[in-house]
Amino acid sequence: MMKIIDGKETSLLVCEQVRLRAGALAKKGVEPCLAVIIVGDDPASRVYVNNKKKKCALVGIRSLEYALEEKTSQSELIGLIERLNKDESVDGILCQLPLPGHIDEKAVIEAIDPQKDVDCFCNVNIGKLWTGDAVFLPCTPAGIMKLLENYHIDASGKSCVIVGRSNIVGKPLAALMLKANATVTVCHSKTKNLAEICRSADILVSAVGKPRFITGDMVKENSVVIDVGINRLENGKLCGDVDFDSVSNKASYITPVPGGCGPMTIAVLMENTIKACEERHK
């Protein structure tokens, strides 16, 4: 029987652990703090930032918001990041992406002190991830690994196919899946025979950003299907990359959208912020 992997419920378990750790820090007089920067007024970014701030409040992390105008220059933004890097009361810095076109995202990511890079985006932290020395784990990929763990799905020895090779999902997920001893294939827009490769997967992860891109004929019987995609349909509803109806007939486990990977991404962000605070107050 197919089972739904509940990201909302799993994220609450992760957040409860974070709340306890925040409580232990509070007893020592330490208040974990996340600085969140948003540039411009992209509505989706505003929703993400609000959700992150709300979750901070629930787990006992202080959040500071820096809402900058669309026309903010790159040097002004990097100036703010440099001040936050030096600010002893700030443990984590998050700059909501995407940034306006005149700002070089890479330069901004690299300006964040790696010890405060709770999104795990900068080169130092990505390098540490691949060598197995990571302090922070990349939020969405680590959220996926926690989902598997919570449902007792062992990736070891399994074939894992990841569709999408972005720096925030596909590539870092490949590192975590390798660490978990899966045999990993990463596909992208130039991949040939995509459907055939997907059908070889025991664990199939889609991070493409195209509604209903993965259909039932691309999925092996009894496989585990993880849908990272968040796509807004014309009717305003959210949908994933996976055609839920046809795929859920074949998969043994499937994540819904919404309520799958999304809540886990925020939960890992909370965990990284607590880790940053604990590391700084060791």
Residues forming the site for ligand NAP (CB under 6 A): 140, 163-166, 168-170, 187-191, 194, 207-209, 228-231, 261-262, 265
CB 202 within 8 A of CB 225: no
Smaller CB separation from ligand NAP, 90 or 242: 242
CA 24 to chain centre: 25
Instruction: Clarify whether 119 is annotated catalytic.
Output: yes
Residue 13 burial (CB count, 10 A): 11
Smaller CB separation from ligand NAP, 115 or 191: 191
Nearest distance in Å: CB 57, ligand NAP: 20
- The single residue of 117, 119, 241, 243 carrying the catalytic annotation is 119
**H-only helix segments in 87-243:** 105-111, 123-131, 139-150, 170-179, 194-199
Nearest distance in Å: CB 30, ligand NAP: 28
CB 236 within 8 A of CB 118: no
Smaller CB separation from ligand NAP, 22 or 218: 218
Nearest distance in Å: CB 115, ligand NAP: 23
- The single residue of 52, 116, 146, 250 carrying the catalytic annotation is 52
Smaller CB separation from ligand NAP, 104 or 279: 104
Instruction: Clarify whether 74 is annotated catalytic.
Output: no
Q: Where are the beta strands (DSSP E) in 31-96?
A: 33-39, 62-68, 92-95
Instruction: Clarify whether 243 is annotated catalytic.
Output: no
Residue 12 to residues 57, 87, 242, Cα–Cα distance (Å) = 14, 30, 24
- Percent helix, strand, coil in the chain, to 5, is 45, 15, 40
- The single residue of 55, 96, 116, 117 carrying the catalytic annotation is 96
Nearest distance in Å: CB 144, ligand NAP: 9
Token digits of residue 245: 């109806």
User: Which residues are identified as catalytic?
Assistant: 52, 96, 119
